[in-house]
Amino acid sequence: MVQKVLKRARDAMSKFVVNNVAGESGRKLPQYIAGLAASGGALAAGTFLGWTAPTDKPLTQQMEYGFPISDEAFSWIGSISNLGAAVMCFPIGYMMKLIGRKWSMLAMVLPLVLGWLLIIFAENVAMMMVGRFFLGVGGGAFCVAAPTYTAEIAQPSIRGTLGTFFQLMVTVGILFVYAVGAGVDVQMLSIICGIIPLVFGAIFFFMPESPYYYVEKGRFSEASGSLKKLRGAQYDENAEIEDLKQADAKMKAEAITIVEAFRQKATIRALCISLGLMFFQQLSGINAVIFYNSAIFASANGGEEMSSASIIVGGIQVVATLVASAVVDKVGRRILLLVSDFMMAVSTILLAVYFQLKEDDPSKVSDLNWLAVLAVCLFIAMFSIGYGPVPWLMVGELFANNVKAFASPLAGVFNWLLAFLVTKIFTNLKDAMGEAGVFWLFSGISLAGTVFVFFVVPETKGKSLNEIQLLLSGEKPTASDQVSVQEAKSDDTVPQVA
């Protein structure tokens, strides 16, 4: 009898410790599963981002679809998806508040499937352009919704890890398209890509809604059920529900208008830094390299022996993104941005020199075909380790919680519009300036971006959101303003796009 009493006491104490130490408890596996399921939308986004690289030559030169597609028309096909993504940055936020994070993402299966169907059965350039626009709508929405969902379902100790899933799956999607596109025609590639959002929908349908959404709506019993699914049936969710209630009440109490927000020095400076980072991210030429790397290799006289070059580039991007996720909280944001941008400048200088030599005398580069491949691989690796994920991470860190709702989408719209601009005018710039001239331009912009980071961008590693706001406003934090690094990390959400 005494042993039974002692056993019950030990069990009760064990449950108390598990459910209360450092706010951590419950099972992690269901959270990893839900995070991976949500990142299936990132895989779908990656496929539409990488689709143009293996389809450029088959569509424009080989006329696989039976109708002519000029280089100018293909530049519109490649770039218009970015406009679709820009269009969705603000509406998806309202959708998530109205119908929830889960159903907003499930709803995006429709434009993705519709987009791929239009491309699969395209009979003219217009159908392809409309299809690509719908793909941008769906993919762009995922770039906002999936990181938000992942941040809201995860406990602080694994939130950073789950936050890296999105960018990683985008790069996996790009690599997938490169690999599959090397072995099938454009229509079959599009069919395979069109299956991915359907598989995502079938899996994600069974995932729980974000508990924070239920708390926002006052549906506390459903929030409790969601936490049970995410943390395990034995989890005592009451303390976390109370934390979510307090966070929601604080957000509503601190709500301000957009006019009031942009009267604050910290908000203005955060916006300037965020938009500056987005500008230098896109004007580095990343989307031009991703969308047209097959054409770059072909122009570098690589020929058939370099048919796997795009797959190598995609693999490098995946590996570099994994490296970035491992080191960003150790070495800091500024050093990654500085190294990334400077080395991107070096990469594009190498490309510019190569194409300059080729324009002057093609015989000079007959033994230097490897240089273009090396430069593109270095560029992709350096982008993925710094300027790819870090600007999005800093958007989540720089803005106060009560202004993120309209400031973060503004940064997103700016980013996608710049992506559209670069992708659209790359062919035109190449015709007007020559390939060497375009890469000289990109290298100059990357060098300017390095200077921008050095003089303007603050280091946010290890700082709480409150400390960052004081830093941006030019004030020094007092002892009462200091909070733990763990708390700072637990508040961060990280939406990312290549």
Residue range 312-344, pLDDT digits in tens: 778 888 888 888 777 776 788 899 999 999 999
Distance CA 490, CA 498 (A): 24
Q: Residue 1, class by beta-carbon neighbours within 10 Å (0-12 exposed, 13-18 middle, 19+ buried)?
A: exposed
Which two structure tokens, joined as six digits, stand for 37?
């399921």
Residue 423 and residue 75 in contact, taking contact as beta carbons nearer than 8 Å: yes
Query: What's the chain's average pLDDT?
Result: 81
Q: At residue 159, does pLDDT exceed 50?
A: yes
Helix (H, G, I), strand (E, B) or coil at 242: helix
Confidence band of 435 (pLDDT split at 50, 70, 90)? confident
Number of other CB atoms surrounding residue 340 within 10 Å = 28
Quickly count: other Cβ atoms within 10 Å of residue 188's Cβ: 13
pLDDT at position 476 is 64
First to last CA, the chain: 64
Residue written as tokens 């926002």? Answer: 216
Q: Which two tokens stand for residue 396?
A: 């989540």
pLDDT of res. 238: 85
Residue 122 contacts residue 116 (beta carbons within 8 Å)? no
Q: Encoding tokens for residue 6? A: 């002692």
208 three-class SS: coil
What's the pLDDT at 465?
65
User: Tokens 């190449």 belong to which residue?
Assistant: 430
What letter represents residue 38's amino acid? A
* Residue recorded with tokens 């379902």: 153
CB atoms within 10 A of CB 447: 18
Q: Which residue has the higher pLDDT, 93 or 118?
A: 118
| Residue of 150, 198, 155, 144 whose CA lies nearest to 413 | 144
CA distances from 476 to 123, 125, 241, 403, 472 (A): 62, 57, 34, 21, 10
Residue whose token pair is 């269901």: 30
Digit-coded pLDDT (tens) for 399-413: 876 777 778 788 889
Q: Assess contact for 342 and 450: CB atoms under 8 A.
A: yes
Model confidence over 96-141: pLDDT tens digits? 889 999 999 999 999 999 999 999 999 999 999 999 999 999 988 8
Environment class of residue 482 by beta-carbon count within 10 Å: exposed (0-12), middle (13-18) or buried (19+)? exposed
C-alpha span between 104 and 93 (Å, rounded): 9
Other C-beta atoms within 10 Å of 455: how many?
7
Query: Residue 306: which pLDDT band, with cuts at 50, 70 and 90?
Result: low
Q: Please write the tens of the pLDDT for every residue from 268-291.
A: 899 999 999 999 999 998 877 766
Q: What is the pLDDT of residue 12?
A: 43
SS3 (DSSP) at 93: helix
pLDDT-derived band at 22 (thresholds 50, 70, 90) equals very low
**What does the radius of gyration of the chain's CA atoms come to, in whole angstroms?**
24
Q: Cα dist. 151→117, 200, 284, 326, 450 in Å? A: 32, 19, 29, 18, 30
Q: Which one, of 256, 274, 243, lies nearest residue 405 by Cα?
A: 256
Tokens describing residue 45: 């986004």
pLDDT for the residue 300: 60
For 181-209, the pLDDT digits (tens) are 888 999 999 999 999 999 999 999 999 99
User: What pLDDT sits at residue 234?
Assistant: 84
Q: How far apart are CA 117 and CA 61, in angstroms?
A: 23
For 131-156, write each residue's pLDDT tens digit.
999 999 998 888 888 888 887 888 87
Q: DSSP characters for 404-415?
A: HHHHHHHHHHHH
Angle at which helices 286-299 and 71-88 pack, to 10 degrees?
A: 160
